[in-house]
């Protein structure tokens, strides 16, 4: 846990800074990791730069074959990943297996499939269009979906022909270290994949500003994303960002209210509410607002909060005391600003006296100006807002600085029409299955660029035109 993976080997850090990794369900330190310095980041970038020319010259088919080997090793270590995320972020074990570890697996699979179907070069008249790896990439990933975001960056970067330095979140670093072991076992060439643990203000800032880094792919808060963009600007490197969200969920008058509200509560509370695309603002017809609150109360009551090791648990703790305190503060703001507390509220659930557990919380009678309707909470807190007309619901849904995701429930034709009007990168109609081939990314302050499948591959590519190439 106290080494970094640089140039195909586990190496000692240059400095001696350490950080304890907390199990948020018990508040116990379960591991220790080294915190890197700018000099460690420089070492990793130098390794990636030295490896780039040789690796990017590999034929696409060989790069795809490499990622297929990586997938095989990932699958062999699948349970290890689930247990790591159960430990480092408090994910309930069934969620860790069926969502967190699965996300890494399915994104690698989708990237492979898309790469095999992708047209990597083609003729446009006498010009030849080529897609080539952009170069050395800094990959900065968050703690809330560790394997989802690592796989969504590493797999397309490898297939595009890039070399990279990964900085996982220092809060949940164990699964990232496991992923480095997978890359090594799969035979990723030395220097192509490197990992340095550390903080955003130190390692993240150095990677973002580094003159030998050609691209930064960042997932995290909008606040941190602006810092990354500012650090990257002087070297005019590409910056792809997946940032915050405050996703609207419009329940149309023709929807099955019980199913729509219940599904919305479950979507908001999944991953303990720690998802940037969670449907945290629910809009319901004013005439059915009281009914919706009772449905939401019942749905929240069905959530089982507790020990992540228990298969019956459906909600674990928040990731840290910092996150716990933030969510408690937002719940207090909801109360202070006059929203109706339907269920949940301040403090831990009954019977849980340690760990960063929170009560699944629902507010009704929320107005668009309230803090809980405008700011990202990143916890299991649902705001229900009544509306008078569909036009009013759309206007309120779009009245946000964010635009990552949105949700619409109701008759399909009506849902489609409303979906076209929402300013968000993904609009989910009637709670569809997770589509890992659909582009994922946001409008406005939710970021730029797109991830998943071929969309992610394109983000890691430059486009070259060979003019005068002639007929193929």
Residues in CB range of 339: below 8 A, 6 or more apart: 363, 364, 365, 366, 367, 370, 372, 383
What mean pLDDT, rounded, does the chain reach?
97
d(CA 444, CA 360): 29
Dig out the tokens for 14 from the structure: 């240059």
Dig out the tokens for 320 from the structure: 């840290």
Q: Do the Cβ atoms of 275 and 149 come closer than 8 Å?
A: no
Residue 1 has pLDDT above 90, yes or no: no
Q: Is residue 276 flagged as an active site residue?
A: yes
Calculate mean pLDDT across residues 22-29: 98
Q: Is residue 137 flagged as an active site residue?
A: no
| Per-residue model confidence as pLDDT tens digits over 56-93 | 999 999 999 999 999 999 999 999 999 999 999 999 99
d(CA 230, CA 205): 10
Q: Do the Cβ atoms of 261 and 249 come closer than 8 Å?
A: no
Dig out the tokens for 120 from the structure: 């990597």
**Per-residue confidence (pLDDT) for residue 472, from 0 to 100:** 66
Calculate mean pLDDT across residues 370-399: 98
Q: Do the Cβ atoms of 258 and 284 come closer than 8 Å?
A: no
Residue 340 has pLDDT above 80, yes or no: yes
**Per-residue confidence (pLDDT) for residue 291, from 0 to 100:** 98
d(CA 100, CA 82): 7
Calculate mean pLDDT across residues 287-308: 98
Which of these, 318, 247, 317, lies nearest to 280 by C-alpha position?
A: 247
d(CA 298, CA 305): 15
Residues in CB range of 440: below 8 A, 6 or more apart: 152, 242, 425, 426, 450, 451, 452, 455
**Per-residue confidence (pLDDT) for residue 349, from 0 to 100:** 97
Catalytic residue among 88, 242, 376, 451: 242
| Per-residue model confidence as pLDDT tens digits over 29-53 | 999 999 999 999 999 999 999 999 9
Residue 472 vs residue 360, higher pLDDT: 360
Residue spans of the domains in the chain: they are 4-243+446-466, 248-435
**Per-residue confidence (pLDDT) for residue 471, from 0 to 100:** 81
d(CA 393, CA 295): 20
Calculate mean pLDDT across residues 324-344: 98
Please report the sign of the dihedral spanned by the C-alpha atoms of residue 206, residue 211, residue 213, residue 217. positive
d(CA 72, CA 109): 10
| Per-residue model confidence as pLDDT tens digits over 245-297 | 999 999 999 999 999 999 999 999 999 999 999 999 999 999 999 999 999 99
**Per-residue confidence (pLDDT) for residue 191, from 0 to 100:** 98
| Per-residue model confidence as pLDDT tens digits over 203-225 | 999 999 999 999 999 999 999 99
- CB-based burial, 145-173: b 16+ in 10 Å, e otherwise: bbbbbbbbbbbbbbbbbbbbbbbbbbbbb
CATH of domain 4-243+446-466: 3.40.605.10
CATH of domain 248-435: 3.40.309.10
* β-strands 248-251, 193-195 pairing: unpaired
pTM score? 0.96
Catalytic residue among 183, 276, 343, 461: 276
């Amino acid at each position: 846990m106290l080494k970094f993976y640089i140039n195909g080997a586990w190496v000692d850090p240059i400095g001696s800074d350490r950080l304890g990794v907390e199990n948020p369900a018990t508040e116990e330190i379960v591991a220790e990791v080294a915190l890197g310095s700018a000099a460690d980041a420089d070492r990793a970038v130098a390794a990636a730069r030295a490896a780039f020319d040789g690796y990017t010259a590999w034929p696409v088919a060989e790069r795809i074959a490499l990622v297929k080997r990586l997938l095989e090793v990932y699958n062999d270590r699948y349970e290890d990943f689930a247990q790591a995320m159960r430990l480092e972020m408090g994910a309930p074990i069934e969620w860790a297996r069926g969502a967190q570890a699965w996300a890494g697996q399915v994104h690698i699979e989708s990237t492979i499939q898309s790469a095999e179907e992708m047209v990597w070069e083609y003729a446009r008249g006498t010009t030849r269009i080529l897609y080539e790896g952009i170069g050395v990439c800094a990959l900065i990933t968050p703690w809330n979906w560790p394997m989802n975001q690592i796989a969504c960056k590493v797999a397309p970067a490898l297939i595009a022909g890039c070399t990279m330095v990964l900085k996982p979140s220092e809060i949940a670093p164990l699964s990232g270290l496991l992923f480095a072991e997978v890359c090594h076992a799969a035979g990723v060439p030395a220097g192509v994949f490197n990992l340095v643990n550390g903080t955003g203000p130190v390692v993240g800032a150095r990677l973002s500003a580094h003159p030998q880094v050609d691209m930064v792919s960042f997932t995290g808060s909008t606040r941190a994303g602006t810092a990354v963009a500012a650090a990257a600007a002087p070297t005019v490197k590409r910056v792809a960002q997946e940032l915050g969200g405050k996703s609207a969920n419009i329940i149309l008058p023709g929807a099955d209210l019980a199913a729509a509200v219940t599904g919305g509560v479950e979507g908001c509370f999944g991953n303990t509410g720690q998802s940037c695309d969670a449907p945290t603002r629910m809009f319901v017809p004013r005439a059915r607002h009281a009914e919706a609150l009772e449905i939401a109360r019942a749905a929240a009551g069905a959530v089982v909060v507790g020990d992540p090791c228990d298969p019956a648990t459906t909600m674990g703790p928040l990731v840290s005391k910092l996150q716990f305190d933030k969510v408690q503060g937002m719940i207090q703001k909801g109360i202070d600003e006059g929203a109706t507390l339907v269920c949940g509220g301040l403090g831990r659930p009954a019977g849980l006296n340690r760990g960063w557990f929170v009560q699944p919380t629902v507010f009704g009678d929320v107005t668009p100006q309230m803090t809980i309707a405008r700011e990202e909470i990143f916890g299991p807190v649902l705001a229900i807002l009544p509306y008078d007309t569909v036009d009013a619901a759309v206007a309120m849904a779009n009245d946000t600085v964010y635009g990552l995701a949105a949700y619409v429930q109701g008759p399909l034709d009506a849902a489609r029409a409303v979906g076209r009007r929402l300013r968000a990168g993904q609009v989910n109609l009637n709670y569809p299955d997770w589509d890992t081939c659909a582009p994922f990314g946001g409008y406005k302050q939710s970021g730029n660029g797109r991830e998943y499948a071929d969309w992610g591959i394109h983000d890691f590519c430059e486009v070259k035109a060979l003019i005068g190439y002639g007929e193929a």
